[in-house]
Amino acid sequence: MLELLEKLCGIDGVSGNEENVRNFIISQIDGFCEWKTDALGNIIVFKKGKKHPSKKVMVDAHTDEVGLVITNITTDGFLKFKVVGGIDISALMFRSVKIGSVNGVICGKPIHLLDKKESEKLPSEDSLYIDIGAENTEQAEKYVRIGDTAVICGGFEANGDKIISKALDDRLGCAILIKLIKSYDEYDFYASFSVQEELGLRGAKTAAFAINPECAIVLEGTTAADIAGVNETDSVCSLGKGPAVSFMDRATVYDRDFYRKALDSGILCQPKRAVAGGNNSGAIHLSREGVRTIAVSVPCRYIHTASSIADINDFENAYKLAVYMLNGILSGEIG
Amino acid sequence: MSIKDTLFALSGLDSAGNLTEAADKAYSMLKEYVKTEKGPNLTVTGFLKGQTDYTLMIDAHIDQIAMVVTGIDDNGFLTVAKSGGIDIRSLPSRRVTVHAKEKITAVFCATPPHLSSKECEYKDIADIKLDTGLGKKAKDIVSLGDYVTFSEAPKELLGNRVSGRSFDNRACVACVIETVKRLSDKELPFNVAFVLSDGEELGLRGTRTATFKINPKEAIVLDVSFGDGIDIPDTDCGKLGLGGMIGVSPALDRKISDKLIFLAKENKIPYQIEAMGAKSGTNADMISVSREGVRTCTLSIPLRNMHTDVETLDLNDLENVCRLLCEYVLSGGVMNA
C-alpha cells in the first residue's frame, strides 16, 4: 500500500484539475469492480461481493489536493495566482512549484531588502508571484495558460515509520479505498473517488446523490498538532496512535453509534479531539434523506503543505478500521 | 562539463562549517586543471603561474547559509540558530536536511489551521521548532552543533534560467572553475590565485586569512547581487540576463572597474554597472584592506530570491562573467596601470 501511496502522491491533482489522479485510479481498479465517471469527474464504483447486504454503503475518498491557479501574467513574465483550498502564506514563500511540466518558483524580496517590520510579518497573498523564467508575457504564454493549476513541489520520502510528502490529504484515503476495492469481497459495496473536496465538498455531493447510500465511510487525512509549542489539549490527534475517528467537526455531527463502535473495535485508533475542520462527510450525511456517516482519518502533521508527515502504522490501521466498519455495517453487526 | 552542470553539481552539495562536500567537489574539479591546495577550513585555492611575480587573486566564497542545532527535545523536535541571513517567515513546513550522524530530512513546524491567527509575528528562529519525526530516537542521532541546510534540488526554468539552493555563491564558484579551465593552457601575464573562500556568510572571515597568505597586488571578488523582481526598485538590483555587474564604488578600485568596462565594451560582452555608496557587503571589503592594501573590484551575478531554497539566475550571466574574467586576465589586469 506504501508503494501505491507514493505513486498517488506523485501525481498532481489540484482541485478541478484531477484528471491524472482519476486516470491512475481507474487503471488500478479496472477489472476489480464496475465503475463510471460522472459530469464532475467523480469515479462512482460498485464492487460486487460474495453476498448481497441489506444496507447500501458508500466509501469515499477525495482525489484533489490544495494548490494554486494562475490568474494573470505580468508584462515581465511573472505569473499571478490565487490559492485553491487553504494554504498558509508561509507555505508559499520561496517554494518550488510545477504548472504541468513547467518548473517555477514563488519569488519574493530577499531578506536583505526588508526592513525590520516587514521581516516579522507575512506578506499578503497578492504580493506573491511565480517566476517560470519567462522574460515577458509572450514567452510565458507559450507555456502557461491563465486558469492552469500549479502544485507546490514536495517529493515522497519514507523515513522509518514516517512518510513525508505533498498531497497526503487525501491520497492516503485514495490508497486505502483502492486496496478495499481490490481486496474486500464479502459483501457488495459502493465507493466514490470524489473531486473538489478542497473547494467545499462538491464532488461528494453529487456522488452521494448518485449512489443514494444509507451509510457512508469517509477516508481522510486530518490535522495532527502533536508538535512542539502546542498544548496537548489542542493537538487534535497524534501520530502513531492510530486513525482518528470524528464525533463532530465544522461540517458534520457523525453517527454516534458508528463512532463508538469504531473506538471499541480493538484496532488502534483515537478520537479526533477537537471540533475543527471538515470533510466530505459534510456533503454526504446531508444527501437526500440523510446518510449515517463515519470519518476515519489518518493523522497528518503540516496538512495542506508540501511536507505533510504521517505515520505508516496509522495508515495501515486506518485500512484495518475501514475494513472492520465496512464489514460490520454490511453484515448488520454494526448499526 | 558545462557551467550549468558544474553549478548543478555544486548546488546539490553542502558546505558550511564542517560540511565539506561542496568544497571537496570543487577541489577535485579544480585540480584537474591547476595546482590546487585545500584548507584551512573549507578554503580551496588553485594557482596558475604567469610570466611575472605580480599576482591577481580571484575570490569566490564557497560557504553557504545554514542553520545549527542548538536544542533537542524528548519528542524529536529541534531548536536551531541561523548561520547566515535567513527569512524565517518562509521556514514553517519547509523541508531541510539535518547533517547528523546520518542525513535526516526534517520539517519546520507550521501552525496548524485551527490555531493559526493572522497576527502571527516572526521574530526569532528559536520559536519555530524543527520536526525530525524521530521522537525519542532523535537524541541518539542528532547532536548539538549539527548543521541544517536547505534541501531543494537545482532545476531548469524556461530559457537559460535556473533555480536552486546555494547558488549564492556556487554560481561564482562555477565561474571560477570554468575560467580556470579556459585559462589553464594559456600564457598568462601574471600569476592568478583562484580562492574559494570560507566563512563569508559569517562576516567575510575566510578571505581575510587567505588574502594575507596569497598577498596579491590586485583582486576581483565574484559574488551574487540582487536580481530584479516584483517590488524590487530598479536602483537596488541588476537585471537577470544582462551580464555580470561590474562594481563601482569609492571603496573599490576604479582602475579595475574602468578596465572591466573597457574590455566588456571592446569584446561586446554584456555587462551592467553596480554602483554602491561605499562598502559592497562582499569579500572585497576585507580583501581591499589586507596588509598594505589591495586594489579590489567586484564582479557580481544578479540573483533572485537570495538566501532561499529557490535562488534564481540566468546562465548567460555566468558565461559572460567567465568571458570577461578571461579577457581581464589575458590583458594583464591593471598591472601596468
Same fold: A2-65+166-331 with A67-152: no
pLDDT at B236: 87
pLDDT at B41: 87
Q: Which residues pair with B132 in a beta bridge?
A: none
Q: Where are the domains of chain A?
A: 2-65+166-331, 67-152
List CB contacts (< 8 A) between A274 and chain B: 114
Q: Which residues of B99-119 are buried (b: 16+ CB within 10 A; e: fewer)?
A: bbeeebbbbbbbbbbebeeee
pLDDT at B74 over 80: yes
Q: Give the chain B residue whose CA is nearest to the CA of A86.
A: B113
pLDDT at B292: 93
B261-274: average pLDDT = 98
User: Which A-chain residues 184-243 have CB contacts (< 8 A) with chain B?
Assistant: 223-225, 227-230, 234, 236
pLDDT at B203: 76
Answer yes or no: do B236 and A113 touch at CB < 8 A. yes
pLDDT at B118: 66
Residue bearing cell 481498479: A29
Of B111, B114, B158, the CB nearest to A276: B114
pLDDT at B306: 97
B295-314: average pLDDT = 97
Task: Single out the residue of B246, B243, B277, B275 nearest to residue B262, CA to CA.
Answer: B246
Secondary structure class of B105 (helix, strand, coil): strand
Residue bearing cell 568544497: B23
A136, A163, A300, A302, best to mutate vs chain B, most B CBs in 10 Å? A302
Cβ atoms of B236 and B315 within 8 Å: the answer is: no
DSSP letter for B13, please: S
What is the pairing mode between strands A189-194 and A57-62? parallel
Q: Which residues of A are catalytic?
A: 197
CA distance B262 to B257: 9
Sorted by where each starts, the structural domains of chain B and their CATH numbers stand as 3-64+165-330 (3.40.630.10), 67-150 (2.40.30.40)
CA distance B160 to B34: 29
My answer on whether omega of the bond before B169 falls inside 30° of 0, hence cis, is yes
pLDDT at B192 over 90: yes
Q: Which residues of A107-146 are buried (b: 16+ CB within 10 A; e: fewer)?
A: bbbbbebbeeeebeebbeeeebbbbbbbbeeebbeebbee
CATH class of the A67-152 domain in this structure: mainly beta
The alpha carbon of residue B258 is apart from the nearest alpha carbon of chain A, in Å, by 28
Ordered alpha helix ranges (H), chain B: 3-11, 21-30, 138-141, 167-183, 205-214, 254-266, 284-287, 315-330
Architecture of the structural domain at A2-65+166-331: 3-Layer(aba) Sandwich (3.40)
The answer to whether residue A31 neighbours chain B at the CB level (below 8 Å) is no
pLDDT single digits (tens) B22-53: 999 999 999 999 999 998 889 999 999 999 99
10-residue mean pLDDT profile of chain A (335 residues): values are: 97 96 98 97 97 96 97 97 94 97 97 91 94 97 97 94 96 98 97 94 95 98 95 94 96 96 97 93 95 97 97 98 98 91
Answer yes or no: do A93 and B107 touch at CB < 8 A. no
Which residues neighbour B133 within 8 Å (Cβ) at sequence distance 6 or greater? A159, A160, A161, A162, A164, A309, B76, B106, B107
Report phi then psi at A231, rounded to 5. -60, 145
Answer yes or no: do A107 and B104 touch at CB < 8 A. no
Secondary structure class of B35 (helix, strand, coil): strand
Q: Which residues pair with A51 in a beta bridge?
A: A187
Answer yes or no: do A227 and B109 touch at CB < 8 A. yes
- Stretch (H or E) spanning A263: helix A256-263
Mean pLDDT, chain B, rounded, equals 94
Which residues neighbour B1 within 8 Å (Cβ) at sequence distance 6 or greater? B9, B29
What is the pairing mode between strands A308-311 and A162-165? antiparallel
Q: Which residues of B34-62 are buried (b: 16+ CB within 10 A; e: fewer)?
A: bebebeebbbbbbbbebeeebbbbbbbbb
DSSP result, A34-49:
EEEE-TTS-EEEEE--
Task: Output the pTM of the full model.
Answer: 0.95
Residue A102 grid cell? 513547467
The answer to whether residue A126 neighbours chain B at the CB level (below 8 Å) is no
Answer yes or no: do A111 and B85 touch at CB < 8 A. yes
pLDDT single digits (tens) B195-250: 999 888 777 778 888 999 999 999 999 999 999 999 999 888 999 999 999 999 99
Answer yes or no: do A120 and B90 touch at CB < 8 A. no
Answer yes or no: do B133 and A164 touch at CB < 8 A. yes
Torsion of CA A178, A180, A183, A187, to 10 degrees: -140
User: Which A-chain residues 144-173 have CB contacts (< 8 A) with chain B?
Assistant: 154, 157, 159-162, 164
pLDDT at A13: 97
Burial of B223 (0-12, 13-18, 19+ CB in 10 A): buried
Residue A149 grid cell? 493549476
Answer yes or no: do B231 and A120 touch at CB < 8 A. no
Q: What is the value of ipTM here, to two decimals?
A: 0.95
Chain CA centroid to CA B22, Å:
11
Of A131, A154, A162, the CB nearest to B304: A131
pLDDT at B280 over 90: no
Task: Single out the residue of A108, A301, A83 nearest to residue B90, CA to CA.
Answer: A108
pLDDT at B273: 97
A307, A308, A311, A312, best to mutate vs chain B, most B CBs in 10 Å? A307
pLDDT at A137: 97
SS (HEC) of A190-258: EEEEECCCCCCCHHHHHHHHHHCCCEEEEEEEEECCCCCCCCHHHCCCCCCCCCEECCECCCCECCHHH
List CB contacts (< 8 A) between A127 and chain B: 230-231
Measure the N-to-C terminal CA separation of chain A; round to a whole number of Å. Answer: 29
Which residues neighbour A118 within 8 Å (Cβ) at sequence distance 6 or greater? A109
